[in-house]
Structures are given as C-alpha cells and as structure tokens.
Amino acid sequence: MIVLEFKAKGKTTQYTAIDEAIRTAQFVRNKAIRFWMDNRGVGQKELYRQSSSLRSEFPFVKALNSSACQASIERAYSSIARFYDNCKKSVPGKKGYPKFKKNSRSVEYKTSGWSLSETRKQITFTDKKGIGKLNLKGTWDLNFYQLEQIKRVRLVHRADGYYVQFLIGVDNQIDAQPTGKTIGLDVGLKEFYTDSNGHSEFNPRFYRTGEKRLKFRQKRVSRKNIGSTSRKKAINKLGRVHLKISRQREEHAKRVARCVIQSHDLVAYEDLRIKNLVKNQSLAKSINDAGWYQFRKWLEYFGVKFGRVTVAVNPAYTSQECSNCGAVVKKSLSTRTHVCECGFVMDRDWNAAINILKLALSTVGHTGTWILDSNASGDSTSTHAGEILYEQVGSMNEESSPL
C-alpha cells in the first residue's frame, strides 16, 4: 500500500465544505467512542449500526458519504482495539484509553463518494457536502494505476492548505541484492546516530535552528486579540513554521534510513520508549528534535521494502558494558569516552553501537521471511531481539507522501 499526495486547489466555499466534512467525520467518530463507553463489549458491527442511526437522526451526517461515515467508525474501532491489545499485552504505563477527537484534520472516503476525471487531474466529491470538483497539483501520475487499485481517498487540512491522498494497493517490495553487511546503531543527541563501524551522522537539530522564527511568530499571536481575524492569520503563520520543521525532520529521517537499509542486510537499533524518555524535562526538547521515532519508523518501512532484517534490542547496559571484554563500566551521560580496565578505550556511542549489534546477532539465526501487510493503518513492526525471525511484518505506507 502506497500513498500518493496532491495539493488540492479549489474555491473558498469548497475549502469550507471540506472543513465541514472533516467536522462531521469527527462527530461520527466521537459518537462511536461514546457509544462504546456506554455499552462496553460492543463490536465493530454494533458501531456500524450506530453510524446508520446517526445518519437517520442528523441531516448533516447523512450529507456525508456513507463510506466516509464507515471509515470514521473504523478509526474509532481501531483505537478501541489498540486499547484492548495493550491491556492484553500488559503494556507498562498508560494503555491508550480511547479519547474524543477535538481537532481532526482529515476525512477518509472509501471507493465511493468520489470520481476522477479522464485526465486524472481533477477529483469530484459526489456527496451532499458541496465539495465538488478539485484540481490536483502534484508530480505523481495517477494514470499509471487502475481505479480498482485506489482503495481510499483522504482529504487533509494542513497549515499550508488542503491535500488529497490516494491510498493505492500495490506491491511495494523491491528485490535487493544481499550486501553481506550488518550494522548496529546507537542514536544520540550530540550525533544523530553512531554505528558499529564508528561512523557518526550529523544531527541537524531543525527545531533548534528554527526557534527564532517560532518565537517571533508566537509573539505575533500573543499580541492579537482573541477571536480576531488577525489572530487567526497569525496562528496560521505559526503553524506553517511548525509544519516546515516537521517536514524537514521527517525528510531527513527518511533519507538517512533509506541509505542505511540499502547498504546492510541486518540493521540493529535500540528499542527506546520515547514517551518515557521525554519525561526528562531537561532533555525533552532535544529528544523530540532528534526525531528518533521517525527514524525507526522509516528503518522498519524500508526494511520491509528492500527485504532487510531490522532488529530492535533492549538498550539496557549497552552504554555501560565493554564491547571488548564484557565488563560493566558505569559512567554518567556527561562521560563521552568508554575506558575499561582491560585497556580498551573507545567513544561511548561507538562502544554502545557494537554492543547493540552483538545483541542482535546473538539472537538472530537467519534473515527470515518478509510479509507485507495490506492494512492501510500505517502501523509497522520490527523484530525484537530474542524472537524467532520466521516473518517480519510491516504496513508503513507513506513513502510517496511529499514531506
């Protein structure tokens, strides 16, 4: 499954209609969550029936295409299923109890409610929300795919405009030649990562470099009267700066991950709990700016695409143990050089990367078989050290989305 994204060009009234469709989809999802809270144990079929009752009760819900209402129900049920799954797995900390959406930014249609023009340069939404025909601006060629391959269409509202995403069911795997190389990665704040070969990737720190622009825009927002048009414009400009930083971070993680995966048959990295790490207030900004989650997400995606093995290992003591003799050398975060009694001296992160690779190789006997999941949810999984690599599953599907 891949995602092709286009900029949507239309009139102001059409943009208003898109916002109304997004609010309606949010309303349906929240009503489904409330129905589940009041009736514990209901399944997806009962939620579908709830959608039908909402369409008969509220005219503005009936104006939205029925498949879009069903997609909103599926979004609600996915959050419910994820909550139950986390409870069964005894995930530490919060289990992700389903919450009500306050500011949704997208609405999703299935195979009905829209139609493409013959040139595939325009899309028309045929429900009663009044969106109508939108021009598609982008470099992707939809003529390359059959209409039957387009499984879903999303309308997305961002700070810099409106976008149309096409979820296309295609086999996105590539038969890559084996390289015979393995690598371990230790992510950090000083360097983006240090590998087991001693190479360090520069950390661009996009948020840090954009802080002056953010502070300037934030001051502009604070000076405007609440509820005024000028304040809304200032908030939009602030959102554009945040969006640019987010896209820079995502594109950097994608580029680096692709290079790493293409060059190695096995990639080992730390199984970090980012939510727990950012609780450290003195490091939270730097951790979020590093984009470790985005990097891991793209490693796992490209691992599936190119048929490589990605292994997430427990990071405990990887920085403390000596990669030469195995002795534990305790050190604080400020100590950047590993010095062992055996006489082994090495950069702290390099030593950790070697330990990460050793942990992965000690539990992995073969490369395993890769299976690409056709689910459009966007979730992806890597193999954890200690698990048998009979298969590795992933369904990340946003490589084609321009960042």
Which whole-number Å values give the CA distances from 302 to 199, 254, 264, in the listed order? 21, 9, 11
Query: Count of residues for the chain?
Result: 403
Written as six digits, the tokens of 192 are 């983006």
Report which secondary-structure segment, H or E, holds 125: strand 122-125
Give dist(CA 190, CA 245) in Å, integer: 19
Concatenating the DSSP letter of every residue in 190-204 gives SEEEEETTS-EEE--
Residues in a beta bridge with 194? 186, 200
Question: What is the per-residue pLDDT across 296-350, written as a single tens digit (0 to 9) for each?
Answer: 999 999 999 998 999 998 888 888 888 888 888 888 877 888 888 888 888 888 9
Mean pLDDT of 151-166: 95
| Inter-residue contact 169 to 151 (CB < 8 Å) | yes
Residue 95, class by beta-carbon neighbours within 10 Å (0-12 exposed, 13-18 middle, 19+ buried)? middle
35-44, 166-175, 358-367, range with the lowest pLDDT: 358-367
Q: Tell which wins on pLDDT, 79 or 399.
A: 79
What DSSP designation does 321 have?
B
Q: Provide φ and ψ at 342, rounded to 5°.
A: -75, 0
Mean pLDDT of the chain: 85
Question: Which residues 6+ apart lie within 8 Å of 395 measured at CB?
Answer: 1, 372, 373, 374, 375, 376, 377, 378, 379, 380
